[in-house]
Amino acid sequence: MGIHVHWYLPTNGDSRDIVGSSEGHERDIPWGAQFREPTVDYLGQIARSAEQLGYEAVLTPTGTWCEDAWITTAALSQVTTRLKFLVAFRPGFISPTLAAHQAATFQRVSGGRLLLNVVTGGDSAEQRQFGDRLDHDQRYARTDEFLAVLRGVSEARPDQPFSFSGQYYDIEDASINFAPWGRPEIFFGGASPAAEQAAARQVDVYLAWGETPAQIAERLDRMRERAAQAGRELRFGIRLHVLSRDTSDAAWAEASQMLDRISPERIRQAQELLAASESVGQHRMSALHQGRRDQLEISPNLWAGYGLVRGGAGTALVGRHDEVADRIEEYHKLGIDHFIMSGQPHLEEAYYFAEGAMTALRSRGLLAPAG
């Protein structure tokens, strides 16, 4: 299977530096004069560029710190023609039948360009903002049921509706028409045993944040075994930032400059915030850098500097274009097919990566068709 390359829509705003998405809008940072508002015009510029450059889809995040992913991408679907939208959303806040209905409508409005990114949530404090008081494992158990219903109603017919009775949902005689495009693929990430179990049973593409190839290989082997026990097969994806340049020195100099503009106090504050997260994946990201500013190349061309101040995906591929392509090919050989990339600013970096590392991958015959 070829490599599917996706980009990222910064619906919380953009700048030339690391955007701490777990902290919301970065209006208080010393370099805030460079902050770009997440307007439809600017996001549309990124989306149109991603489409022209050959990216398959763009990921939109979810949370109170960014714009709503459903509404934003529905608007952007009208200024693009081929680009798909990987829409992140929280299960449990709405009925899974309603989520299926929204997805079916999006499919018809966009011409079949929706992908679903299910984000269960790893922070109880944030979940309580939405009125959700379930604990970590309960949230993943609810996600498991949510996806069982979403899949069930999407495969049902009016003459053969779907019913479900579980701990969190009680659905009777439901069916959602996804014709003519069909149900979108379900992407999902989570590193805890509860998350992995839900993924093995329900999702199409299991996502990991950018750990070392050895760590990724171990996780993929475990997830293949879990999926096999559930009588299923999974596909795999990875979320990474990127600094791809004409020379290795230029790429690492850019990474160094980004790090130099972050104060020790800001790192300390961010690490205190991230340490309170219940997310196993977040703790794995933090363990890669351990709060230090040096020795951040944790594997060839894999830099953990992002994780010092940013929640979620905390690593970047840094290097010459062919070096970045080498690392992507290395992950691909492990079984990763979907690569969700990003870089600040997201407009300019989309060009750097597409015209450099993506071109190298295309010349090697590794890219899947973008359509």
Tens digits of pLDDT across the chain (371 residues): 899 999 999 999 999 888 644 434 343 444 344 589 999 999 999 999 999 999 999 999 998 889 999 999 999 999 999 999 999 999 988 999 999 999 999 999 999 999 999 999 767 777 777 777 888 899 999 999 999 999 999 999 999 999 999 999 999 999 999 999 999 999 999 999 999 999 999 999 999 999 999 999 999 999 999 999 999 999 999 999 999 999 999 999 999 999 998 888 989 988 988 888 888 889 999 999 988 899 999 999 999 999 999 888 999 999 999 999 999 999 999 999 999 999 999 999 999 999 999 999 999 999 998 76
Q: 341: which strand partners? A: 240
What's the DSSP call for residue 94?
A: S
Reported as type and span, the H/E element at residue 97 is helix 96-110
Q: Give the three-state DSSP class for 206.
A: strand
Name the residue among 73, 20, 83 with its Cα closest to residue 43: 73
Torsion sign across C-alpha atoms 174, 176, 182, 185 = negative
Write down the pLDDT at residue 21: 41
Q: How far does CA 242 lie from the centroid of its chain?
A: 14
Reported as type and span, the H/E element at residue 265 is helix 264-275
Contacts of 179 (CB under 8 A, 6+ apart): none
Write down the pLDDT at residue 35: 84
Asked if residue 10 has a cis previous peptide bond (ω within 30° of 0), the answer is no
Cα separation, 246 vs 360, in Å, equals 12
- Kindly report the backbone phi and psi dihedral angles of residue 172, in degrees, each rounded to the nearest multiple of 5, phi listed first: -125, 120
C-alpha separations of 256 from 17, 249, 295, 335 in Å: 11, 10, 12, 31
| Two tokens, residue 1 | 């299977």
pTM over 0.85: yes
Write down the pLDDT at residue 24: 41
Write down the pLDDT at residue 330: 98
Cα separation, 292 vs 289, in Å, equals 6
CA angle 199, 203, 204 (to 5 degrees): 130
- Kindly report the backbone phi and psi dihedral angles of residue 53, in degrees, each rounded to the nearest multiple of 5, phi listed first: -85, -10
Write down the pLDDT at residue 371: 66
Chain segment 155-174, per-residue pLDDT in tens:
999 999 999 999 999 999 99
Chain segment 256-299, per-residue pLDDT in tens:
999 998 888 989 988 988 888 888 889 999 999 988 899 999 99
